[in-house]
């Protein structure tokens, strides 16, 4: 395997590109530079128009719709991947959702339905796609990557139910790593510092979070999608072969601060 093209011939399915700001797009670009073959999903017709040209610019071999709230859409997606590639090496799960109302005010006011939706889309979906990926990552194992945030561990005002969903996501990473480890399938999360993306725009006072992060981190600067891509490539690539079940930070050191 060439060091310049560590992903030559590797097949990577990327869930969660909405536009050129998406963290998933940062990961896709680094994998592409490393020689990976890529497939993308999009959520709904409106985003299809944004995702298609991006995917085509990195020679995507498959571009499919998938709303992870529906098992039949997940099944159909992996059916297409099987038909196209008959296998899979890398799965990137870079998506989350909570009702806007639940991302402001008090966490104690979260409704049963709001809690269910955030958990289902932001945490359970990783389990559902990992199960499908398992059957495609048969021979040489593979790597599954998801995206988390520090609000999983500590209270971040306005992150609310998403913090609880991210805590469930990080715990799911550990249990999936244990289940899939014997098949050499690794499962890891990246805990990223704040980046201005479409999803981030749903969080009240996100701008304050951004400027606070810049001020309070040891490195005194915010991260970007490419930083996430570089760490993602490390975890999915040769450097990560014995790393599984972990959550790694790319946050300019924010998580060490009291």
Site residues for ligand NAD per CB under 6 A = 16-18, 21-24, 43, 47, 66-69, 94-97, 121, 147-149, 192, 194-195, 197-200
Task: Classify residue 249 by its DSSP letter.
Answer: E
- In three-state secondary structure terms, 247 is strand
Closest CB to ligand NAD among residues 24, 91 = 24
- Min dist CB 7 to ligand NAD, Å, is 21
- Min dist CB 148 to ligand NAD, Å, is 6
- Min dist CB 15 to ligand NAD, Å, is 6
Closest CB to ligand NAD among residues 137, 161 = 161
Q: Dihedral through CA 204, CA 208, CA 211, CA 212, nearest 10?
A: -110
Closest CB to ligand NAD among residues 95, 119 = 95
Q: Exposed, middle or buried by CB within 10 Å (0-12, 13-18, 19+), for 15?
A: buried
| Helix residue spans in the chain (DSSP H) | 23-33, 44-57, 71-85, 112-119, 125-136, 160-180, 206-216, 225-236
Radius of gyration of the chain from its Cα atoms, rounded to whole angstroms: 17
- In three-state secondary structure terms, 164 is helix
C-alpha span between 113 and 63 (Å, rounded): 31
Closest CB to ligand NAD among residues 1, 198 = 198
C-alpha span between 93 and 83 (Å, rounded): 21
Which residues are designated catalytic? 149, 159
């Amino acid at each position: 395997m060439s060091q310049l093209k560590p992903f030559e011939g590797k097949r990577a399915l990327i869930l969660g590109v909405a536009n050129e700001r998406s963290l998933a797009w940062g990961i896709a670009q680094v994998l592409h530079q490393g020689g990976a073959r890529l497939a993308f999903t999009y959520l709904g017709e409106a985003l299809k128009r944004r995702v298609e040209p991006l995917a085509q610019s990195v020679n995507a071999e498959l571009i499919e719709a998938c709303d992870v709230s529906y098992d039949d859409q997940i099944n159909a997606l992996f059916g297409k991947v099987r038909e196209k590639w008959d296998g899979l090496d890398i799965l990137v799960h870079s998506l989350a959702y909570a009702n806007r109302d639940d991302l402001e005010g008090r966490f104690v006011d979260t409704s049963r339905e709001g809690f269910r939706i955030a958990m289902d889309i932001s945490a359970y979906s990783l389990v559902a796609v990992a199960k499908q990926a398992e059957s495609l990552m048969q021979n040489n194992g593979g790597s599954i990557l998801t995206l988390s945030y520090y609000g999983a561990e500590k209270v971040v005002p306005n992150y609310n139910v998403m913090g609880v969903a991210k805590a469930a996501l990080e715990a799911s990473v550990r249990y999936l790593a244990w289940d899939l480890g014997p098949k050499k399938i690794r499962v890891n999360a990246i805990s990223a510092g704040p980046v201005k993306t479409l999803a981030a725009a749903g969080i009240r006072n996100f701008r304050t979070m951004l400027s606070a992060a810049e001020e309070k981190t040891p490195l005194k600067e915010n991260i970007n999608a490419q930083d996430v891509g570089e760490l993602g490539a490390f975890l999915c690539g040769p450097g990560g072969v014995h790393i599984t079940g972990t959550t790694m930070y790319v946050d300019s050191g924010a998580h060490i601060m009291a």
